[in-house]
Amino acid sequence: MSTPKPYTATRVDAIAPFHVMAILARAKALEAAGRDIIHLEIGEPDFPTPQPIIEAGIAALRAGHTHYTGALGLPSLREAIAKFHDTRWHATIDAERIVVTPGASGALLLVLGLLAGPGDEVLMADPGYPCNRHFAEFCDARAATIPVDATNGFQLTLDLIEQHATPATRAVLIASPSNPTGTAVAPDELARIHNWCRAHGVALIVDEIYLALTYDGPENTAAHWDDVFVINSFSKYFLMTGWRLGWLTAPAWAVPALERLAQNLYLAASTPAQHAALAAFLPATLDELEARKHELRTRRDFLLPALRERGFVIPVAPEGAFYVYADCRAHTDNSFEFAQTLLEQSGVAVTPGLDFGLNRPQYFLRLAYTQPLPRLAQAIARIDRFLSR
């Protein structure tokens, strides 16, 4: 007699897997079989964590910092983050409004847990970071995805928000610069969106995980406004993806509720990681991080024209992050199949548009420039050979 399968919550059905995982698994299998694969599919920097951070992490473990911290994070780290906001972005923030989280992921989960529930809607761009949709679904809210394209810089605008808002709209979520497009919201547009949100009692959430990786123009933070939820992380600019540490700048009224949620959802962020992150703001670390940022910019400046010359259309130049979201319609109308064949035949792994939403994903590929310049040049040579077949 077969045993009945236990019941699983229906919300899980709405949570799609990362399609790139299929590409990654195949890439690993090809590598295991001896093939050389150039990985442009993964959204994390190839650089190691700076040594001062590693040393501080080891010292923290040796000093016995292996117990829980308070749910909002180490007071010294919250102070250090507030100071970083001040020196880098001239945003004065009370450290009491900073919540240290397990990555930006932890911060997004807290914020959506706070703001959205059954029947509620969260407006967000499509294409966009896929977990945002899934966080909303996990809270039994609706991710109201708004198609964006080159005409709006692949970002939400006030016009789009006004067109799509309903009485159920509880929050507008923006990532600037964005994953997958690397494009940012212009400061005046963000100010208009902020005014609209304030006037309508709708929360504004701005994910600034890639803000410090802005290559063109100033790094415009939304943390100047004290009623916005601003998400950030040690993952990308600080090269600490695996340490699982991020932060959230929240309106003062929201902190007690966020603290209760954090206490119950995960107790606290990793203690050794929090101690290690104190070294992220040392001048020597910041010098290294700026050098890494410069290297990323050089890679972007190589990859962008190289792809354009080969018929990939990138109508809005990515200002930040480490992604190019390329329209590959000149070569295919099935980007998923294209990514698979490119991997099989040429050993170049890229992410198909399908991972970022339902807005014409079949025409797009995301390439992450998380490989050294010579490897990117090799990838372009392989793409050349692939296209000429």
Which residues of the chain form contacts with ligand PLP (CB under 6 A)? 43, 103-105, 129, 175, 179, 207, 209, 233, 235, 241, 246
Residue 265 CB: number of other CB atoms within 10 A? 14
The nearest distance, CB 43 to ligand PLP, in angstroms, is: 4
The nearest distance, CB 140 to ligand PLP, in angstroms, is: 21
Residue (69 or 233) nearer to ligand PLP, CB: 233
Would you state the torsion angle of the CA atoms of residues 340, 343, 349, 350, taken in this order, to the nearest 10 degrees? -40
Residue (57 or 103) nearer to ligand PLP, CB: 103
The nearest distance, CB 103 to ligand PLP, in angstroms, is: 3
- CA pair distance 81, 93, nearest whole angstrom: 9
Task: Judge residue 192's burial from the number of C-beta atoms within 10 Å of its C-beta, 0-12 exposed, 13-18 middle, 19 or more buried.
Answer: middle
- CA pair distance 143, 130, nearest whole angstrom: 10
Residue (235 or 346) nearer to ligand PLP, CB: 235
Helix axes 20-32, 335-346, angle to 10 degrees: 10
Residue (100 or 306) nearer to ligand PLP, CB: 100
- Cβ distance 225 to 96 under 8 Å? no
Question: Phi/psi of residue 160, each to 5°?
Answer: -65, -40
The nearest distance, CB 126 to ligand PLP, in angstroms, is: 14
Which residue minimizes CB distance to ligand PLP?
103
Residue (273 or 286) nearer to ligand PLP, CB: 273
The nearest distance, CB 154 to ligand PLP, in angstroms, is: 13
Residue 218 CB: number of other CB atoms within 10 A? 9
The nearest distance, CB 241 to ligand PLP, in angstroms, is: 5
- CA pair distance 257, 6, nearest whole angstrom: 33
**Rounded alpha-carbon distances, angstroms, from residue 106 to 85, 112, 290, 357, 369:** 20, 10, 26, 21, 25
Residue (157 or 235) nearer to ligand PLP, CB: 235
